């Protein structure tokens, strides 16, 4: 029996700082301001990223010399979604469901086995030369582990300046210093910190440095791969607020990958839920939390504590039976049928299609026809 609530049962803490260095640094910079939760609706047709039937399979081989392919791990197996300009799409699911692999394929850091990814209306597969370089500038990534993603031997100034130098956008020394100071300010850090090394910073500050580096090339889309998972709960809300403030001021689009539904609820406009390489539900955050439809989404949400004491007392957890099946041999029919509390005979053979049921909420489940 697997109890799924452990990784999800954290809530976003109020933006107070328990970390000494974070408390000091948060007093400066544009990103430290609180951000209202609601935003005006985004235009529905301004799509910056379109993913269609994306598959990322990894071959499994046997034999030392004659490596014979004996199967494949279907890490991502038919994922489709769109992301609008200025929007945050949360991508959630348990570890190993394929959400980070999806992010890496969008970054062109992993080859797609099939499907199509279009950025600003153009197919990534056709990018080369100057177009490829422009894409590399326009799409950046913020990584999960701020301790591992920054070179410990480089000063913060050099870490942030590196992408500008690689792309030939550094300018002269004075211009580069001014840009580094500006980027530090945008994430709520002080200019003098440019001369320090990563180990002199707290976890939250390191993640701010990672964000500043990602912003250096003025991207329009940032793939955020579990960017707050490695941080203390009290620091998570501060970093999420930095992301939200930057989105408002720069018009950024985020694909926000996380396993923590409380964090995703705070930042996302829409949320896509993944299970075993597939998206099983996509909805606005209001729809998803008010009326989760897919049994897997319901199970995930049932594990999230509710702030209201009476509602929390009424909350009934759905404990899923069994383990997540291997992505090498996903179950026939609905991939969730081996653990689904609502499974019906047809679920073993018929693969449900992700379908819009008229209100923009898409769900892949036979319960909805
Ligand atoms: Fe459960 Fe069947 Fe729906 Fe799959 S299709 S989620 S097994 S009810």
pLDDT, greater one: 33 or 267: 267
Q: In the prediction, which pLDDT does 69 show?
A: 87
- State percent of the chain over pLDDT 70: 88
CATH superfamily membership of 7-29+47-59+72-368: P-loop containing nucleotide triphosphate hydrolases (3.40.50.300)
Residue 364 Cα to ligand 1 middle (Å): 8
In the predicted structure, residue 95 carries a pLDDT above the cut 50: yes
Could you give the C-alpha distances from 35 to 8, 39, 86, 199, in angstroms and in order?
A: 24, 10, 15, 29
Q: What is the pTM of this model?
A: 0.87
Q: Is 334 in the pocket of ligand 1 (CB under 6 A)?
A: yes
Helix (H) / strand (E) element for 279: namely strand 278-284
Residue 99 Cα to ligand 1 middle (Å): 21
Q: Ligand 1: which of 320, 366, 368, 369 to mutate, most ligand atoms within 8 Å of CB?
A: 366
Q: Ligand 1: which of 93, 322, 334 to mutate, most ligand atoms within 8 Å of CB?
A: 334
Q: Where are the domains of the chain?
A: 7-29+47-59+72-368
In the predicted structure, residue 104 carries a pLDDT above the cut 70: yes
Question: Residues 340-352: pLDDT tens digits?
Answer: 999 999 999 999 9
41-45, 302-306, 311-315, 363-367: least confident range? 41-45
pLDDT band per the 50, 70, 90 thresholds, residue 307: confident
DSSP single-letter state for residue 82: E
Question: Residues 163-216: pLDDT tens digits?
Answer: 999 999 988 999 999 999 999 999 999 999 999 999 999 999 999 999 999 999
Q: Are 92 and 282 in contact (CB under 8 A)?
A: no
DSSP codes joined into one string, 100-112 = HHHHHHHTTSS--
Nearest to 207 by CA among 121, 148, 152, 155: 148
Q: Is 344 in the pocket of ligand 1 (CB under 6 A)?
A: yes
2-11, 166-175, 209-218, 353-362: least confident range? 2-11
In the predicted structure, residue 53 carries a pLDDT above the cut 60: yes
Between strands 278-284 and 270-275, the pairing is antiparallel
pLDDT, greater one: 36 or 275: 275
Average pLDDT, integer, range 22-49: 55
3-17, 49-63, 115-129: least confident range? 3-17
Q: Are 368 and 355 in contact (CB under 8 A)?
A: yes
Q: Ligand 1: which of 344, 348, 351 to mutate, most ligand atoms within 8 Å of CB?
A: 344
């Amino acid at each position: 029996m697997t109890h799924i609530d452990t990784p999800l049962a954290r809530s976003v803490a109020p933006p107070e700082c328990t970390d000494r260095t974070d408390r000091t640094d948060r007093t400066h910079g544009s990103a430290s301001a609180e951000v209202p939760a609601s935003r005006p609706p985004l235009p529905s047709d301004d799509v910056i990223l379109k993913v269609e039937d994306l598959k990322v399979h990894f071959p499994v081989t046997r034999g030392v010399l004659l490596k014979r392919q004996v199967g494949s791990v279907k890490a991502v197996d038919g994922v489709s979604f769109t992301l609008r300009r200025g929007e945050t799409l949360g991508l959630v699911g348990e570890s190993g469901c394929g959400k980070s692999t999806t992010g890496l394929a969008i970054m062109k850091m992993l080859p797609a086995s099939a499907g199509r990814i279009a950025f600003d209306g153009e197919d990534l597969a056709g990018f080369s030369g100057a177009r490829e370089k422009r894409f590399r500038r326009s799409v950046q990534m913020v990584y999960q582990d701020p301790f591992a993603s920054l070179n410990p031997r480089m000063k913060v100034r050099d870490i942030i300046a590196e992408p500008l130098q690689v792309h030939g956008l550094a300018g002269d020394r004075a211009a580069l210093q001014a840009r580094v100071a500006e980027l530090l300010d945008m994430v709520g850090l002080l200019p003098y910190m440019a001369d320090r090394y990563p180990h002199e910073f707290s976890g939250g500050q390191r993640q701010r440095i990672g964000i500043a580096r990602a912003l250096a090339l003025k991207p329009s889309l940032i793939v955020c791969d579990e960017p707050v998972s490695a941080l203390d709960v009290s620091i998570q809300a501060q970093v999420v607020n930095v992301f939200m403030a930057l989105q408002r001021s720069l018009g950024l689009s985020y694909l926000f990958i996380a396993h923590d539904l409380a964090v995703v609820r705070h930042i996302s406009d829409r949320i896509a839920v993944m299970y075993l390489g597939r998206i099983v539900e996509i909805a606005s955050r209001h729809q998803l939390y008010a009326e989760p439809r897919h049994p897997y989404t319901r199970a995930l949400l049932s594990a999230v504590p509710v702030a209201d004491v009476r509602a929390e007392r009424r909350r009934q957890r759905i404990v899923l039976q069994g383990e997540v099946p291997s992505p090498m041999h996903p179950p026939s029919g609905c991939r969730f049928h081996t653990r689904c509390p609502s499974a019906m005979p047809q679920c073993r053979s018929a693969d449900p299609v992700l379908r819009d049921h008229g209100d923009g909420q898409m769900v892949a489940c036979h319960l909805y026809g």
